[in-house]
Amino acid sequence: GAMATMYDEELLDYFRIEYGRNLLQLQRKLRQAEEDSLSPFIRLQEKKKEAKLMRKALEAKKEEFKERMKAVACRWQDLHTQEAELKTHMEKSLRIEDDRMRDQALKKRAEEREKTIQKEFELLRARRELEVLRNNHEKLYNKVQKYSIFKKYLEDVVKISQFEDIQEVISSYKTLLRVHKDLEQSQRRHKEMSQQARVFLDQYTEEKEAEILHYKNKLVELQQCFDQAKEDTQFWETCWADIQKTSTKTTLELGTIRMAILNLFQCANRQMKAKLNVPVDDSHGQLNMIQQLIQDLADISMEGKEDMQDRQRAATPTGHANVRGSARVGRGGQRAPERL
C-alpha cells in the first residue's frame, strides 16, 4: 500500500513537471502560430499535428517514467532484501557474540575450577610427601641412634691402630670392598669363560663323535661293498673259468669239424679226380664245394634212376608174359590156361 501511494505521488509530480516544462511552451507556440496563420484550415491542421506530436511525446515520457519507476521498484525491493539480510546477519552476529562470551565465561570458570582442584591436589601431595619425609627422618634418626655404637667402636679402632681418623678407616674399608668386588667380577668372568669353553668343548666333542660315527657307518658300508665285490669277483672268476672251458671245448669241436670237412673235401677231390683251388683254412668254401658235389651226385643218381625206369618201361610187355606163363603152371606140374 505504501509503495503504491508513493508511486502515484511520484507519477503526479512527474506529469506536473513535464506539463509545466513542455506543454506550456507548446501552447505558446500554438497561440503564436494561430496569430501568424492566415488560413483557419491550415491552423487547424497544424494544431492537430502539434497535438499528435504532443500526444506521442507524452506517451514516450509516460513509458520512460514507467521504466524508471520499475527500476526504482526493483531497487527498492533489493534494498528491502539487503535490509532483511543485514538484520538477520546482525541478529546472528549478536547471537554468536553472546555464545562466544558465554563460552569464554564457562571456559574461564572451568579453568579456575581446574586450577583450584590442581592446587588442592598439589597441597595434598605436598602433605603426603611431608609425612613421608617425617617418617624417613624418624627412621634415620633411629638408625643413627642404633648405629652410634659403631662410631664408638671406630674411635676405639683408630686409637689402637695406625689410622689417624675414622674417615681413613672408612676409605680403607671402601678400597677393600672395591678390590673384593673386582676380584668377584674377575672370578665371575673366569667362571663364565670356563663354562663357555666347556660348552664349546662339549659341542666339539659331539661334532667329532657324530663325525666318527658317520665314518664308522661309511666304513661298514664300504666293507659290505668290498665283501660283495669279493663275492662278485669269485662268481665272475668261476663264470670266466666256465667260459674258458666252454671256449676250449668249442675250439676243439670246431677244429674237429674243420678236420672232418677238410678230410671230406679231400676225399671228394680224390673221388672227382679234380684239383679244386680252395684254401685249406677256408672251411666255408670247402663246405660249398662239397655241397655242390653232393648236388651233382644227386643229379647224376636221378638221371640214372630215370634211365633205368625208361628201360624197365621198354621191357615191360615181355616181362608180363613170362610172369603170366609161369602163373599158368598149376600145382602138380599142370600148366594153367593162358589168358589173352
Residue 175 Cα distances to 170, 257, 316, angstroms: 9, 118, 161
Q: Give the C-alpha separation, 30 to 24, whole Å.
A: 10
Quick one: average pLDDT of 125-149?
86
Q: pLDDT tier at 38 (50, 70, 90 boundaries)?
A: very low
pLDDT classification of 332: cutoffs 50, 70, 90: very low
Highest mean pLDDT (candidates 34-48, 80-94, 115-129, 270-284)? 115-129
pLDDT higher at 128 or 274: 128
What is the Cα 33 distance to its own chain's centre?
A: 112
pLDDT tens, 14-27?
666 665 666 556 66
Closest CA to 170 of 290, 184, 263, 178: 178
**pLDDT band at residue 275 under the 50/70/90 scheme:** low
Which residue from 335, 317, 318, 319 is spatially nearest to 327, judged by alpha carbons?
335
- pLDDT, tens digit, 9 for 90 and up, residues 291-331: 887 887 888 888 888 888 888 888 775 544 444 444 343 43
pLDDT the model gives residue 31: 63
Distance in angstroms (rounded) separating the CA atoms of residues 204 and 196: 12
Tens digits of residue pLDDT in 151-205? 788 788 888 878 788 788 888 888 999 999 999 999 999 999 999 999 999 999 9
CA distances to 8, 61, 63, 221, 319 from 57, in Å: 20, 6, 10, 138, 185
